């Protein structure tokens, strides 16, 4: 099977490495506007050949779109225009409603499978790609009833080769849930980083005193705006809903401290501890 990866960065590169290792593909075309990424991906054997969009798409059995969601929405109709009924297209975007809406009435809609691997890091670029990134994580397929069975089967094989476990849901539910478990985490991390940078002007002090807890909390603040601004834009309503709830929770902590109501502060922490039982299952 020949594969085209549109976007040879962290996610696309990691998928290519794993699918090569698992022998699902014997040849990977790399398609990317970033020539530096393409050259690096070729150098470290993520891809086998650099290609223009039309050539790579027309000569591949599977096309994986691994670019920021705004760009994916823009390019997806053009990719579907180029394929035959024997090819499959999938994306890896962190939001799904806009993606599926962009090709809702496309004559080759059923050759597309909306996919989101629940993994990522604050790093970017093909040099950050790793083979076993996805192992054990969830792989979401959205609106599977709108994809041809054979296209769906190919993506399910991709998931199996990535050693992930599939979850099926509609695009709207996906976007709501990811707002809670992923998107708000990034906003919180960005906000905390800005808070510390605003209040603590001594860079050396931050470096010397930063604990592992602080470092892990603000790790996501290293994530690039090129990916996350489009995600927030596409999932704005859900993110705003979650953000309002998050602000309300912060106000509870603020009020407890202001009023020296430490019993209530303890209640808030004890209630928060319940998340351990969910995450440790």
Output the 3-class SS for 213-248: HHHHHHHHHHCCHHHHHHHHHHCHHHHHHHHHHHHH
Task: Taking each helix axis as running N to C, give the angle between helix 236-258 and helix 225-234, from 0 to 180 degrees, rounded to the nearest 10.
Answer: 100
Q: What is the pLDDT of residue 212?
A: 59
Within 8 A by CB and 6+ apart from 21, the residues are 131
Q: What's the pLDDT score for residue 205?
A: 65
Predicted confidence (pLDDT) per residue in 180-213, tens digit? 988 999 999 999 888 888 776 666 665 565 555 6
Residues in the chain, total: 281
pLDDT at 41: 95
| Predicted pLDDT of residue 206 | 58
pLDDT for the residue numbered 116: 96
Interacting residues of 187 by C-beta distance below 8 A, sequence separation 6+: 232, 239, 243, 246
Domains along the sequence of the chain with CATH: 2-169 (3.40.50.720), 174-279 (1.10.3660.10)
Question: Would you state the pLDDT for residue 46?
Answer: 95
Residues of the chain with pLDDT under 70: 122, 200-214, 281
Phi, psi at 24, each rounded to 5°: -75, -25
3-state secondary structure of 274: coil
pLDDT at 258: 97
Closest CA to 236 of 185, 195, 176: 176
Q: Which residues contact 165 (CB under 8 A, 6 or more apart)?
A: 136, 137, 138, 139, 159
DSSP state of 58: H
The pair of structure tokens assigned to 19 is 């699918």
């Amino acid at each position: 099977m020949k594969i085209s990866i549109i976007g040879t960065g962290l996610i696309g590169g990691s998928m290519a490495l794993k699918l090569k290792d698992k022998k699902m593909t014997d040849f990977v075309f790399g398609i990317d506007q970033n020539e530096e990424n393409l050259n690096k991906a070729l150098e470290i054997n993520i891809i086998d050949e650099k290609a223009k969009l039309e050539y790579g798409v027309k000569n591949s059995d599977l096309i994986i779109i691994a670019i920021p969601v705004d760009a994916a929405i823009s390019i997806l109709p053009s990719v579907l225009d180029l394929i035959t009924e024997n090819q499959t297209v999938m994306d890896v975007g962190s939001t799904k409603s806009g993606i599926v809406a962009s090709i809702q009435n496309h004559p080759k809609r059923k050759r597309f499978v909306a996919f989101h691997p629940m993994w990522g890091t604050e790093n970017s670029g093909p040099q950050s790609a790793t083979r076993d990134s996805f192992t054990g994580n969830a792989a979401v397929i959205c609106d599977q009833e709108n994809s041809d069975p054979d296209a769906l089967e190919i993506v399910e094989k991709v998931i199996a080769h990535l050693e992930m476990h599939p979850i099926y849901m509609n695009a709207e539910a996906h976007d709501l849930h990811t707002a809670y478990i992923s998107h708000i985490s990034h906003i919180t991390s960005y906000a905390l980083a800005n808070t510390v940078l605003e209040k603590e002007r001594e860079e050396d002090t931050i470096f010397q005193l930063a604990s592992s807890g602080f470092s892990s909390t603000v790790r996501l603040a290293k994530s690039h705006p090129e990916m996350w601004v489009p995600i927030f834009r596409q999932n704005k309503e859900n993110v705003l809903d979650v953000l309002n709830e998050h602000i309300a929770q912060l106000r509870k902590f603020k009020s407890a401290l202001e009023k020296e109501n430490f019993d209530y502060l303890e209640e808030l922490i004890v209630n928060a501890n319940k998340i351990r039982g969910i995450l440790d299952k």
